[in-house]
């Protein structure tokens, strides 16, 4: 996997990756606003298994915004997320608040380069793959990197937070 040079017009996520000197690949595809699932659309467009494409969700755990990164093939287990960060109760965050806090739009929220860095939990299934894909900060743009690099850059906790 080759490191991509940052081009003008990059996203905060790709800028953060370049600044960190991390090896990554950018995958761009034509986003279809009519597609029912951003993540499944990305997997289909890139020809990548849905188990390797991860979606970024923002939840509220005991009043603290928390990022959950889970495979698009599964769903977030809110109880497991709360447990992973020693919380009691988790619910999905208000989409407007998630957008304002991260600096990204829904469907393009990246765990990288957020306006305000949020605590992050990466589903343990990421460990089964040499590389995974996450949003690069806008719809139709994904970044592929190692789970170890994603964990390091986000300070993520790894835990089983997804269910089929």
Structural domain contains residue 93 = yes
| Any domain includes 12 | no
The fraction of the chain above a pLDDT of 90, given in percent, is 80
- Cα-based distances in Å from 157 to 1, 51, 100: 25, 19, 23
Domain membership of residue 139 (yes or no) is yes
Mean predicted lDDT score pLDDT of the chain: 92
Is position 8 within any domain? no
Residues near 22 by Cβ (< 8 Å), separated by ≥ 6?
A: 3, 145, 149, 153
Does some domain include residue 10?
no
Please say whether the beta carbons of 87 and 157 come within 8 A: no
Mean pLDDT of 35-47: 86
The span from the CA of 121 to the CA of 118, in Å, is 10
CATH for 80: 3.90.960.10
CB burial readout 111-135, b (16+ within 10 A) else e:
bbbbeebbebbbbbbbeeeebbbbb
Contacts of 96 (CB under 8 A, 6+ apart): none
Residue range 44-97, pLDDT digits in tens: 889 999 999 999 999 999 999 999 999 998 999 999 999 999 999 999 999 999
* Rg over CA atoms, the chain: 14
The answer to pTM > 0.85 is yes
- On whether residue 16 sits in a domain, the answer given is no
Q: Which domain holds residue 100?
A: 22-163
Total tally of structural domains belonging to the chain = 1
What whole-number distance in Å separates Cα of residue 10 and Cα of residue 58? 23
């Amino acid at each position: 996997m080759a490191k991509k040079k940052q081009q003008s017009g990059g996203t905060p996520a790709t800028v953060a990756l370049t600044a960190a000197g991390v090896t990554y690949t950018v995958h761009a595809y034509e986003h279809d606003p009519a597609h029912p699932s951003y993540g499944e659309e990305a997997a289909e467009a890139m020809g990548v298994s849905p188990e390797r494409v991860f979606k970024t969700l923002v939840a509220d755990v005991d009043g603290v915004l928390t990022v959950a990164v889970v495979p698009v093939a599964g769903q977030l287990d809110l109880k497991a997320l709360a447990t992973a960060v020693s919380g009691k109760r988790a619910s999905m965050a208000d989409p407007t608040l998630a957008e304002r806090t991260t600096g990204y739009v829904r469907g393009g929220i990246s765990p990288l380069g957020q306006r305000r860095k949020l605590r992050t939990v990466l589903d343990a299934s990421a460990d089964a793959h040499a590389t995974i894909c996450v949003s690069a900060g806008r719809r139709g743009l994904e970044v592929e990197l190692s789970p170890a690099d994603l964990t390091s850059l986000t300070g993520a906790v790894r835990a089983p937070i997804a269910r089929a």
